[in-house]
Structure 1
Amino acid sequence: MAEGRWPTIPQLLSRSIRRHGKHVALRMPQLKGRRFSFREVTYRELWDLSGKLAVWLSAQGVEQGDRVAIIAKPSVGWAVAFLAIQRLGAVAVPLDAGLRPAEVARILQEAEVKMLFAAPGRYEELLPLAEEIPSLGEVVSVEAMPGALSLWELLPEEAEAAPDVPLDPEALALLMYTSGTTGDAKGVMLCHRNITSNVEGILEAIQVGPEDRVVSIVPWYHIYGLTVLLALLAAGATVSYTDDYRNLIEVARRCGVTILVGVPKLYHALWRRLEENFQSSLLRRLLFRFAPRLLGKFIKKNLLTPGFRFFVSGGAALAAEVGIGFRRLGLGMIEGYGLTETSPVLTFSKPFTRRAGTVGRPLKGVEIRIQGPDADGYGEVLVRGPNVMLGYYRNPKRTAEVFTEDGWLRTGDLGRLDPSGHLFLAGRKKNVIVLESGKNVYPEEVEWELSLIPEVEEVLVYERKKGGIPVVAAMIYPNWEELGRQGIKEEAAALELIWERIKEAQKNLATFKRIKSKEDVKLVDKPFEKSTKQEIKRYLYVKKS
């Protein structure tokens, strides 16, 4: 592919159809009671089904540039709908499966969505929107259900040629709505070039092929999950999705997993379980210390599969010690960094990198620079490349604010580059706590240390003003189950114990980063409200001046 000329999404996937037509593209686990089954679809079947649906959509008046939304968890139906939308030259609007009806209505209205594909469980509550939103035509269920218009009923029995729509790589392909932890929802406009350049960059950085069986827990309505899905399909791999954390290891084993795609929350929890297991046995403690790779082989054989290759982590920051720990065991861990606005991947680390804490080097075609670095080299990460968005939908003011005059995207993240081009991140620019001394404290670093305390369920570290002077403070939702095992039921006693644990945990932090007083610790009575990526919505709890 010549530099500067990228394929469209259908062109990218049509290559896989030609090369891997009979190979299984999607293998979706289904658990009924304790019985596992799988719904499989080959590359050729996926292409043919999407072509049939594209014929139906065209007959309903869906044209190039029209917006078509999908609100459902990943499924074969989801993939068929997405690919049909792309083959028509329409614009896919993937929506979080858990969005409330009012939020869905606002987005459908703003984007002037013409058609909505919905999960069976959302169909009835969203059906009235067809009467309320002028642009919206049909609401279609992605799976069969009684009394609903189902995607599977719409496919013509006789194969018809899918509309042959000439597509421009610069044309809008996706409208991704994201609010993250700020509450300020934005429609991110991504063209075909944005996505396919990122897919090709990913496949240059990570070796994936038809022999790989990939299990992902990242939903396709997040750009991380969707772009990784498209990259895996472009490589001819077999992809499985599950959101069943409880049975994840069982699903992975039954799928013969070679690659597991997840988020830091999963790997942090998995690492804690492994550490507890190591500490419960003298033999395992000794193996972890002196022969970690032998222990890793045991884990592969008994928890994963002998052919397991590596984990992929993205969507948030992975604690450095977790990445180091998995790699010591001989279990590769690839860390990625990116934003919805960058389609999303900017960097990937190597599975067995020895640079602790790095998120890797930029993908091919991606440029990174650090603006206004401090004495330690940390400043705002600026990026540019073929994967950077067209802009925010109908929001030219916000678009102008996020780009520099010379065309670099401001990420809002603080980081530094080492001499070999590896990126190290510190945290979000807007979250940083600037102390009276001028030193910076990154809440994410402190939160990780406090999250290791067994009596702490959730933690949010923030800047508190004390006599007008900024100090490090924390809100904590206690682990009442663990406290109950210790006979503690009252908040005052819980705070006393947690404060003692905090003082111990903070020994891993530089003195200036520590919480100095019990007065700066507040217990909250319910879990923090989170975004769909399971990040705490800081704006609900912290008002920065």
Structure 2
Amino acid sequence: MKILRNLANSMNATVEYRLGANLDFIRSLVGHHREKIALRMVSRDGFRDVSFQDLKEAAETVADFFIGAGIEKDTRIAILCENRPEWAIGFFGIISAACVAVPIDSKLSIQEIIFILNDSCAVCAVVSDATAGIILSHREKLPHLKLILSVDDTRESSMVSVNRLLAQKSERKTRPGGGLDETAIIIYTSGTTGVSKGVELNYRGLLYEVETLVRSIGISENDSFVSVLPLSHMLEITGGLLSPLYAGSTVTYCGTLRADVLMETIRKSSATMMISVPAVLKGFRNAIFRMAERQPIIKRRIFKGFFYLSRFLMRMGIRSGRFLFPQVHRKFGGRFWCFVSGGAPLDIGLEEDLEALGFCILQGYGLTEASPVVSVNTPKKKKRGSVGIPLKGISVRILKQSPSDGEGEIVITGPNIMKGYFNNPEATKGVLKNGWLHTGDIGYFDRGGFLHISGRIKNMIVLEDGRKVFPEELEHTLGRSPYIKEICAFGKKPLQKPADKGEEVVAVIVPNLDMFSENERCD
């Protein structure tokens, strides 16, 4: 089954596609899934569902509005909205109108949001009740903004409601799409040089990423996802929205990162997979351990015994977690099997703990400038502690300062690489050199071809004796403790020594108070 069958032919070594048109998701999404649930939102009464057919019609209505309002092709349209089905409706409406989507994280500071809206020259913003106030209260600072489209019912005269548009019968308007190399998304990131920049990603890169991920991981129409990461980040757009819909899966939105609520959502939605980050995975592990600690002493001892038995059997290649911990998997609904982890390095101890409990953990590596996935472990080919093997069609090199070095800067090239930074040719030249993206990350390949990440060049700490320390490695080691909620390590120049004498390693730690008993806490 191919939901986007009309968009691209089967992948081959050169990664070529049939169509020279834009990413016309909406007209090809439906396929034979018309009444199947595409998107759903947790509500007080259960779930609010949007079928593939509903998604298509709503997105086309939004596109009709943009075209009818005189918004021209390639115009930037911002999305300032929390995770919910309407985010996707706005996104697909934007690209169906052959415009460019500019996702913005609503949790950014007001100054950052205003900067992105002005830097991208966005003429329209898709907002919700929760975010509309940000725009309305600073409208005078947004000279390019002409229209505001609300995904909620609104009486504000300066905004148009999507629900009102859906209630009206409008004439379908069409617009020829652009080529696969035209910009689909501009997403702002601190990037590899620390300054907020708009990353231009084209349709070719998105298609490549989506099709390759679906095939590599094995996502199918029988899968169901729970989405918690912000849709203003490419990991969730590519991995948590486009890839599941491509495969015919259902995506459920949950508005919290609390492990207990997430488990309940996973159970009720019969989810099978989730795109996640290490902090969320750590929350799941700690929640499971806390549930075990609340059991009678006999059950606690059985749990610990089975846990160590499972870890022992894993060393011999025997995976017994689902058999040994049925009560844990019942909490997840019985169908859930896989976490895909990205966005930050995953501690190998955390990975082993969750796998011992019977979950499959697939760690990957990427960056916004690469649409975003560069490499990922797969169910058939994985190695703990690594970020997997580069996706087929992507070339990865390690630039070493000398032949004797074991690691170096990771540089990549492939169909997923960004076009450049929006209206910032100098910054683009700084990271794109002869078609290769210089990531600023340090890493190496092991003998099996698996990629490992050591840290960031700009974060490297040089000690007084010349040794180089990556704070990420220290954070991983100390972060294994369930008593640590967050940790940040960095280098600091000693006050008592000359500036050229190297740095000292300093760490700021936030304790996980949930793991302390009442008598261990300080007032």
**TM score, norm. by length of structure 2:** 0.86
Give me the whole-angstrom Cα distance separating, in 1, the residues matched to 2:193 and 2:81: 24
Say yes or no: does 1:327 pair with 2:355.
yes
Partner of 1:60: 69
Give me the whole-angstrom Cα distance separating, in 1, the residues matched to 2:503 and 2:57: 61
Any idea what the Cα deviations from partners look like across 1:288-344, whole Å, max 9, x if unmatched?
Answer: 122452565414532212222211111111111112222233311111110000000
Partner of 2:285: 271
Partner of 1:400: 429
- Percent of matched pairs sharing the same residue: 31
Give me the whole-angstrom Cα distance separating, in 2, the residues matched to 1:172 and 1:354: 33
Give me the whole-angstrom Cα distance separating, in 2, the residues matched to 1:126 and 1:310: 38
The answer to which of 318-327 and 287-296 deviates more is 287-296
- CA-CA distance at 1:122 after TM superposition: 2.1
Partner of 2:316: none
Contact 2:80-2:128 at 8 Å conserved across structures: yes
Give me the whole-angstrom Cα distance separating, in 2, the residues matched to 1:100 and 1:470: 32
Match of 1:462 among 455, 473, 490: 490
Give me the whole-angstrom Cα distance separating, in 1, the residues matched to 2:192 and 2:440: 13
Partner of 1:445: 473
- CA-CA distance at 1:82 after TM superposition: 0.8
- CA-CA distance at 1:357 after TM superposition: 0.4
Partner of 1:192: 203
Say yes or no: does 1:420 pair with 2:454.
no
Give me the whole-angstrom Cα distance separating, in 1, the residues matched to 2:408 and 2:23: 39
CA RMSD in angstroms, aligned pairs only: 2.5
Match of 1:170 among 159, 176, 181: 181
Letter in 1 for 2:179: D
Cα 1:299/1:347, change in 2 over 3 Å: farther
Partner of 1:115: 124
Say yes or no: does 1:474 pair with 2:487.
no
Match of 2:306 among 262, 287, 300: 287
- CA-CA distance at 1:241 after TM superposition: 1.6
Letter in 2 for 1:476: I
Partner SS for 1:18 = coil
Give me the whole-angstrom Cα distance separating, in 2, the residues matched to 1:331 and 1:362: 23
Letter in 1 for 2:307: F
Say yes or no: does 1:312 pair with 2:340.
yes
Letter in 2 for 1:26: L
Contact 1:130-1:137 at 8 Å conserved across structures: no
Give me the whole-angstrom Cα distance separating, in 1, the residues matched to 2:414 and 2:126: 32
Contact 2:484-2:512 at 8 Å conserved across structures: yes
Partner of 2:461: 433
Cα 1:43/1:381, change in 2 over 3 Å: same
Partner of 1:73: 82
Give me the whole-angstrom Cα distance separating, in 1, the residues matched to 2:341 and 2:512: 26
- CA-CA distance at 1:421 after TM superposition: 1.9
Give me the whole-angstrom Cα distance separating, in 2, the residues matched to 1:456 and 1:418: 30
Say yes or no: does 1:238 pair with 2:250.
yes
Say yes or no: does 1:126 pair with 2:138.
no
Contact 1:101-1:126 at 8 Å conserved across structures: no
The answer to which of 271-280 and 75-84 deviates more is 271-280
Give me the whole-angstrom Cα distance separating, in 1, the residues matched to 2:251 and 2:521: 46
Any idea what the Cα deviations from partners look like across 1:93-120, whole Å, max 9, x if unmatched?
Answer: 0100223333222222221111111121
Partner SS for 2:32 = helix
Letter in 1 for 2:420: G
Give me the whole-angstrom Cα distance separating, in 2, the residues matched to 1:118 and 1:475: 36
Partner of 1:202: 213
- CA-CA distance at 1:176 after TM superposition: 0.2
Contact 1:336-1:359 at 8 Å conserved across structures: yes
Gap regions ≥5 residues in structure 2? 1-8, 311-319
**TM score, norm. by length of structure 1:** 0.83
Q: How many residues get paired? A: 484
Partner SS for 1:337 = strand
Say yes or no: does 1:223 pair with 2:234.
yes
Contact 1:27-1:39 at 8 Å conserved across structures: yes
Cα 1:381/1:423, change in 2 over 3 Å: same
Letter in 2 for 1:84: G
Give me the whole-angstrom Cα distance separating, in 2, the residues matched to 1:354 and 1:110: 41
Match of 1:45 among 30, 40, 54: 54
Give me the whole-angstrom Cα distance separating, in 2, the residues matched to 1:194 and 1:131: 36
Cα 1:317/1:352, change in 2 over 3 Å: farther
Partner of 2:317: none
Give me the whole-angstrom Cα distance separating, in 2, the residues matched to 1:336 and 1:76: 26
